[in-house]
Amino acid sequence: MSLPKSPTPIIRNPGTALDLDWVFAVQANTSAIERRCKSLPARRSVKKENQAAWLLKAISCIDLTTLSGDDTGNRVRRLCQKAKHPVRSDLLHSLGIQPNSITTGAICVYHEMVSAAVSALKGSEIPVAAVSTGFPAGLSPYTFRVGEIGESVKAGAKEIDIVISRRHVLSQNWQALYEEMNDFRDACGEAHVKAILATGELGTLRNVARASLICMMGGADFIKTSTGKEKVNATLPVSLTMTRQIRDYHEKTGYMVGYKPAGGISKAKDAITYLSLIKEELGDRWLYPDLFRFGASSLLGDIERQLEHFTTGHYSADYRHAMG
């Protein structure tokens, strides 16, 4: 089994002028979206070698995440070691994969843990992503939110996961959302910005679709479903809605924007379903970590269990695949 070569780098999305005619033309047929999503898991079942290959692909797209109030430097450092060595070497050998040839896509932490993560990942190519702008509610003073981005970039974060102001979407204040996204993008500088929509709090799929488009117009490098703290996080209908906006944006502007479902994705079979959705809606180029990420923690453990089952024929206990 061999890993695919890295793709040609993309041109970063610079954003566009706010086009409200385009925004107001966006609709979402909820019943059709849900019908399409229900059919996807059954139609895209993969087995054996193909399943193992898809699971290795999923690992390379994970933002391995810890966002707990009791995070410590030692916990983050252990997580970084897991990011560098996400699968046991004996399993990789059985799969014909060279050790150290696969890592997770990034480590995602709070600002206070950025320096510990940067230090632990020194010498690797794994970026550190910091959640920012008053994560998860996004209700701290605006100057604090913008300033927090700058502090995380100074600390070494290469990616910033910002949260939008949900009230702008719920009140249909698209101008305010666009300006906010512009400010956050400017504060990120060279660091890539992922715009978290908190879709479980936006009310309708039409709101999700329009907010997705506004954030891309404002210069988002990624659009992301959730903070992981809402009652409803990543779902297939939300993912289909957002990826179709990404496809439309690419068709009209030529710029590729990434997608990150986050929260509630903990099973290997679900990861394959999401990858299948991305392949069908956006194409193979989006199946790389510069354009697709899972926001997850426990997902990696279940994927490793599935890989062990593939190589040995037996399922192992969860404790054999700890995160650190």
**Residues belonging to the active site:** 161, 224, 260
Which one, of 210, 198, 112, 187, lies nearest residue 163 by Cα? Answer: 198
Radius of gyration of the chain (CA): 19
* SS3 (DSSP) at 102: coil
Q: How far apart are CA 13 and CA 300, in angstroms?
A: 29
Exposed e or buried b per residue across 255-285, where buried means at least 16 C-beta atoms within 10 angstroms of its C-beta = bbbbbbbbbbbeebebbbbbbbbbbebbeeb
109 strand-pairing partners: 130
Cα 308 to Cα 315: distance, rounded to the nearest angstrom: 7
Beta-bridged to residue 222, according to DSSP, are 194, 258
The rounded distance, in Å, linking the Cα atoms of 301 and 297 is 8
* Structure tokens given for 134: 């008053």
Q: Say if CB 13 and CB 221 are below 8 A apart.
A: yes
